[in-house]
Structure 1
Amino acid sequence: MSGEIPPAQPPPDPPHHELVHPLSLWRQRHNPLYRCTDRLQTRIALALLLLVPVLGLAATLAVGDAAHRHYRAAAEHQRQSLRLTTAVLTHDAPDHPEPGSAEARENRYPATVRFTDPSGRTRTAETGVLPGLKAGSSVHVWVDADGAIAEPPMTAAQIRSRTMGWGLVAFLTVLLAGAAAYRCATVVLRRRNLAEWDTEWAETAPRWTTSP
């Protein structure tokens, strides 16, 4: 009576969670234990190593160009639809804890101002002003067609910064997509390897068992 077939013990897995160096992948091709699935995984890794940087750069340039054109058009629309006018503070602005410092020159505190809208009406609204300004001080504000205070048109530096941000997002998206594709491929290949190993072990194990 033959003994029971022991459970299959698959060989240790090569690292699947990260792309390995192309030279090490090339050396593995001469290994006699190298499987077809290993060869396929190598080709997938090499293809991704070549394609991801190229596709990432192409996506960065395409998205960056689209973002730059969008923000430049938006800034031009803002310049045409907004009007720069002079407003007067109705009360003193809060003082900064460190007057004269670089931080004080950059900070803006909310304050109520009075100004004349495009239709000639006198209005009051809240806007950000430098700290320490006294009541009656004049400040420049941007006003839209409805007479409401609006954000100033985007500057060239703001357009450039937002464009670079979208370009970086595009590159990272391609990078993550490449990593996800490689991960999915390794999972599928590992399942195939385990299935083949179980099949081969079921055929081989009976030859290793002995009869009492």
Structure 2
Amino acid sequence: MRAIGGLWRWRHNPLRRRTDLVEAWLALAAIVLILAVAPLVGAAVGASAQSALQQSVQDQREARHEVVATVVKKAARNPLLDPDPETSSGRDSHSRVVANWTAPDGTGRHGTVTAAIKSPAPGDHFTIWTDPHGRIVGRPLDGATATTHAVLAGFGAAVLTVGLVEGGRRLIVWRMVLRRYARWDRAWDKAGPDWGRTGAGS
């Protein structure tokens, strides 16, 4: 709105300089770009991210399998993984155990894994995620999380577009101000020697 007001104010103002109109038009163009282009960029980036992430969700669901593992024994504490046993954190509800499980391809597997059991005992069952050959993998990405990431990507792209447009406008105005100051300096240099002198046109 300030840009529109600026254009109207300078419309028939006798003190108007060409740069004043240019600055007002720049501000108006920046507002139009921010209101029209930034949402489109955000929507496009969000839609693209959503498509890619949902495809990733589908691929992970096909490649990762939830299987049941059985606790054999509790694994020895590894000081590199848990340097301070006195600290309490989200690890309190998880334990490192030696377990057996059957891979989706039917082969038996044995190894040390993290179980979502606070006090595991031999024979306890818990679920883990594996690839088709039984190797431990992370939980697959779920659709809701993928959508959240896509929305954040779209919002970030829109904000970045706004920043680029406003940054470009400020850079152009800054260059215009520098040139204006340079013209003033040249004008003062020409007028300086005769300033206030009788008959110098002052």
TM-score w.r.t. length of structure 2? 0.78
Q: 1:140 to 1:64 in 2, by over 3 A?
A: same
Secondary structure (helix, strand or coil) at the match of 1:77 reads helix
Residue 123 of structure 1: aligned partner? 110
Question: 1:164 and 2:151 equivalent?
Answer: yes
The residue matched to 1:149 in structure 2 has which SS?
Answer: coil
Structure 1 residue 111 and structure 2 residue 111: aligned? Answer: no
Cα RMSD of the aligned pairs, angstroms, is 2.9
Question: Match of 2:127, SS?
Answer: strand
With 167-176 and 141-150 compared, the bigger mean Cα shift is at: 141-150
The reply to whether residue 22 of structure 1 matches residue 3 of structure 2 is yes
Larger displacement relative to structure 2 (69-78 or 112-121) = 112-121
C-alpha change, 1:25 and 1:78, in structure 2 (3 Å) is same
The separation in 2 between residues aligned to 1:128 and 1:182, in whole angstroms, is: 55
User: 1:139 is matched by which residue type in structure 2?
Assistant: F
Structure 2 stretches of 5 or more lacking a match? 76-86
Q: Hey, which bits of structure 1, 4+ residues long, moved more than 6 A?
A: none
Q: CA separation in 2, counterparts of 1:121 and 1:142? A: 15
2:51 maps to which residue? 69
| In 2: Cα distance, 1:163 partner to 1:62 partner | 10
Instruction: Tell me the number of residue pairs that the alignment of Structure 1 and Structure 2 aligns.
Output: 185
Runs (5+) with no aligned partner, structure 1: 1-19
Q: Is the 8 A contact 1:111 1:129 kept in 2?
A: no
Give deviations 1:4-52, integer Å, cap 9, x for gaps: xxxxxxxxxxxxxxxx823542354154333211210110111001112
Q: 2:137 aligns with which of 150, 163, 176?
A: 150
What letter is aligned with 2:65? Answer: R
Q: Following TM superposition, by how much is the alpha carbon of 1:107 offset from its aligned partner in structure 2, in angstroms?
A: 7.5
Which whole-Å CA distance do the structure 1 matches of 2:133 and 2:38 have between them? 43
Quick one: which amino acid aligns to residue 116 of structure 1?
A: T
Query: Structure 2 CA distance, aligned partners of 1:143 and 1:179?
Result: 48
Corresponding residue for residue 79 of structure 2: none
From 9, 24, 47, the counterpart of 1:42? 24
Structure 1 stretch 171-180 or stretch 20-29: which is displaced more?
Answer: 20-29
Which region of structure 1 is more displaced relative to structure 2, 106-115 or 46-55? Answer: 106-115
Which of 33, 36, 53 aligns to 1:54? It is 36
Higher relative contact order (CA 8 A, sep 6+): 1
* Contact 2:3 2:25 survives alignment (8 Å): no
Give the conservation status (yes or no) of the 8 Å contact 1:111–1:128: yes
Give the C-alpha shift of residue 108 in structure 1. 4.9
Whole-Å Cα distance in 2 between the matches of residues 165 and 110 of structure 1?
33
- 1:17 corresponds to: none
Instruction: State the partner residue of 1:8.
Output: none
C-alpha separation in 2, matches of 1:108 and 1:168? 35
CA distance in 2, matches of 1:66, 1:40: 36
* Residue 86 (structure 1) shift: 0.5
TM-score with structure 1 length normalisation?
0.74
